[in-house]
Structure 1
Amino acid sequence: MKTNLFLLLSVLLGLVGIAQEQKMTVAEITSFKTKVERETQGIKTLKTDFVQYKHMDFLSKDIETSGKMAFKSPNHLNWQYTKPYQYSIVFKNNKIYINDQGNKSTVDAKSKMFEKINKLIVGSVSGNMFDDKEFVISYFKTKEFYIAKLEPKTTTVKKYIKQVELFFPLGEATVSQVKLIESSGDFTRIVFKNKTINDKVDDSVFTN
């Protein structure tokens, strides 16, 4: 009896899994990519609040942080953490500017590794990441989201990121959640809130 219940439970869980996430058809993928690429081309600026959850296997609870993000075309990006600490990272002009609670530093981002990571982050924000040369991409859907799963092809990026998952609410062309899975299996999930597109963003926002 226990065996039968176990088998029944396994089947039911399998069916739930299938219902939650299904592979998109070729036609659905084409339509989805066309919509996202067309609409993200018009994004000049993007501002949003975010909540970030860092999951590590050895911790019983995810580490939660929050802040604001600003993007300005073509490649200005500011991640500003405000809780529970003050920390910001600005990407611009092939450099990364870090402000750790008043302690400032600069990293040259001209290397291929930083170029790819910067491109990946900017693409995660804008949703314009459908680059088959850089990623192996698979597409799924649920009742709430279209999901693009990207596996980096280059060894350099694979050292840091195993997979990126982008969540697009049905009917929308910009990302509402990003999941970055590390090679270790730990992951970071970022949820965007209060998003505004093409509002004015001053250059001073990207001065760290």
Structure 2
Amino acid sequence: MIKNIALSTLLLISSFVFAQNTPMSTAESKAFVTKISSETKEIKTLQADFIQTKKMDFLDKNIVTYGKMSLKTPNILAWKYTKPYQYSIVFKDNKIFINDQGKKSSVDAKSKTFEKINKLIVGSSNGQMFNDSEFSVSYFKNANSNIAKFTPKSAQLLKYIKQIELHFPKNQSTVSQVNMMEASGDTTNIVFKNTKINAPIAASEFSL
């Protein structure tokens, strides 16, 4: 019995250690940035399905939504939520265009949270995210992914965002997962599936 408990504990510890992210060396991080920056230069369009999970302290259950993300370089990005509700948001010309189940509106792109995620995702399609002056970047790795962690430099931005993580599978140069930690303690996790690069995207995907 004791041996079984000890073995189970050892396996648990081993699994925990194996799952941990470890910092990249200077040479590894430089090679990673060079690789991503080089390979993403040819990206003109990108489209993917996504699952977004929002965890908020005052709610017992996570908020899970589904939809499609469409990107067209240099700076047009659309999120279309399809389940459990229909909601579209398009970032274009420094404005946010919104269609909330038929109710349309537009505002200046001044959100301190989602706007920054969009800026980094657009940057991830052309390798420019690593040059964003608003963030300091640290690099990590695990068995499956390379991870870039972006921490705001300014106290003003830190009031809203604690950190944003972009995950890159070792076999691809596009983002597969985004984790954002807000200063409030709330977290947002976005996982991308069925990613298509440089496939034609209908103009209607960027309109409301």
Shorter-chain TM-score tier: 0.7 to 0.9
* Partner AA of 1:43 in structure 2: I
Distance, in Å, in 1 between the alignment partners of 2:126 and 2:50 is 14
**Residues 68-126 of structure 1, C-alpha deviations (whole Å, 9 max, x = no match):** 010000001100000000001001112110000001111023x6969x73523423566
Deviates more, 1:121-130 or 1:145-154: 121-130
CA contact (8 A) 2:40 2:125 kept: no
Corresponding residue number in structure 1 for 2:151: 151
Structure 1: stretches of 5+ with no match in the other structure: none
Distance, in Å, in 1 between the alignment partners of 2:11 and 2:136 is 30
TM-score by length of 2: 0.85
Distance, in Å, in 2 between the alignment partners of 1:191 and 1:126 is 20
* Partner AA of 2:81 in structure 1: Y
Cα 1:196–1:86 change in 2 (3 A) is same
CA contact (8 A) 1:180 1:189 kept: yes
Q: How big is the shift at 1:27?
A: 1.3
Task: Name the Cα RMSD after superposition.
Answer: 2.7
Deviates more, 1:14-23 or 1:177-186: 14-23
Distance, in Å, in 1 between the alignment partners of 2:111 and 2:88 is 23
Distance, in Å, in 2 between the alignment partners of 1:163 and 1:58 is 21
SS of 2:32's equivalent?
helix
Q: How many residues are aligned here?
A: 201
Distance, in Å, in 2 between the alignment partners of 1:51 and 1:113 is 21
TM-score by length of 1: 0.85
Residue identity (%): 55
**Residues 140-174 of structure 1, C-alpha deviations (whole Å, 9 max, x = no match):** 11111111111011334323221100111112111
Corresponding residue number in structure 2 for 1:52: 52
SS of 2:161's equivalent?
coil
Cα 1:155–1:203 change in 2 (3 A) is farther
Corresponding residue number in structure 1 for 2:69: 69
Note the 1:46-125 alignment, pairs <5 A: 46-109=46-109, 117=116, 118-123=118-123
Distance, in Å, in 2 between the alignment partners of 1:37 and 1:129 is 9
* Partner AA of 2:18 in structure 1: A
Note the 1:27-38 alignment, pairs <5 A: 27-38=27-38
Distance, in Å, in 2 between the alignment partners of 1:33 and 1:171 is 14
Cα 1:134–1:17 change in 2 (3 A) is farther
* Partner AA of 2:205 in structure 1: V
SS of 1:175's equivalent?
coil
Distance, in Å, in 2 between the alignment partners of 1:14 and 1:131 is 37
Distance, in Å, in 2 between the alignment partners of 1:125 and 1:182 is 24
Cα 1:180–1:135 change in 2 (3 A) is same
Corresponding residue number in structure 1 for 2:168: 168
Corresponding residue number in structure 2 for 1:185: 185
Q: How big is the shift at 1:189?
A: 0.3
